[in-house]
């Protein structure tokens, strides 16, 4: 049941990205181009998403537990550390250069544009490369 609801949620999210234009990197880049071909329409997409999220959280947190689990899985870290800052910067730079973030990029695969595949390949290299570096370059006590 959890797999079915996860799939349906993903489909709904993807359809929303397609309908809103978030899967079109040109629309996103035009939104970010304040002094050129600025397209403010994504403000309404973000505003609508914020309203839905606000209402959704208010409804969900009234429940003692999620419908398909025994407890809410909420991160408890409030630390702003180097990996968070670097990851946030890379995310913003990637979004500004490519016009994609991960969700819309996966949705845009349906368009078959070569740039989408370049972005996704680069994103996957970054994800798995970052994971590898984090596991293998952590500070360990030296033998000296």
- Tens-level pLDDT at each residue, the chain (144 residues): 889 999 999 999 989 888 888 888 888 899 989 999 999 998 998 899 999 999 999 999 999 998 888 999 988 889 999 888 988 998 888 888 888 888 888 888 888 888 889 989 988 998 899 889 888 887 565 555
- Do residues 100 and 28 touch, judged by C-beta distance below 8 A? yes
Q: What is the spatial distance between Cα 6 and Cα 3, in angstroms, rounded to a whole number?
A: 5
Q: What is the spatial distance between Cα 41 and Cα 22, in angstroms, rounded to a whole number?
A: 10
* 62 alpha carbon, distance to own chain's centre: 26
State the pLDDT at residue 21. 85
Ordered by start, the domain boundaries in the chain are 2-136
User: Taking CA 120 as the corner, what is the angle to CA 114 and CA 126, rounded to the nearest 5 degrees?
Assistant: 140
Q: Find, among 113, 53, 123, the residue nearest to 91 by Cα.
A: 123
State the pLDDT at residue 40. 92
Q: Find, among 26, 14, 16, the residue nearest to 99 by Cα.
A: 26
Categorise residue 17: left if φ over 0, alpha if ψ from -120 to 50, beta otherwise.
alpha
* 118 alpha carbon, distance to own chain's centre: 17
DSSP type of residue 36: S
């Amino acid at each position: 049941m959890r797999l079915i609801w996860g799939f349906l949620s993903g489909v709904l999210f993807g359809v929303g990205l397609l309908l809103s234009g978030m899967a079109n990197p040109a629309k996103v880049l035009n939104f970010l181009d304040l002094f050129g071909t600025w397209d403010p329409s994504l403000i309404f997409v973000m505003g609508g998403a914020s309203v839905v999220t606000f209402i959704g959280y208010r409804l969900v947190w009234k429940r003692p537990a999620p419908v398909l689990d025994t407890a809410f899985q909420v991160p408890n870290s409030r630390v702003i550390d180097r990996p968070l800052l670097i990851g946030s910067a890379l995310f913003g730079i990637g979004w500004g250069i490519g016009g994609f973030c991960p969700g819309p990029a996966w949705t845009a695969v349906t368009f078959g544009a070569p740039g989408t595949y370049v972005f996704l390949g680069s994103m996957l290299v970054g994800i798995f490369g970052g994971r590898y570096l984090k596991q293998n370059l952590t500070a360990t006590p030296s033998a000296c």
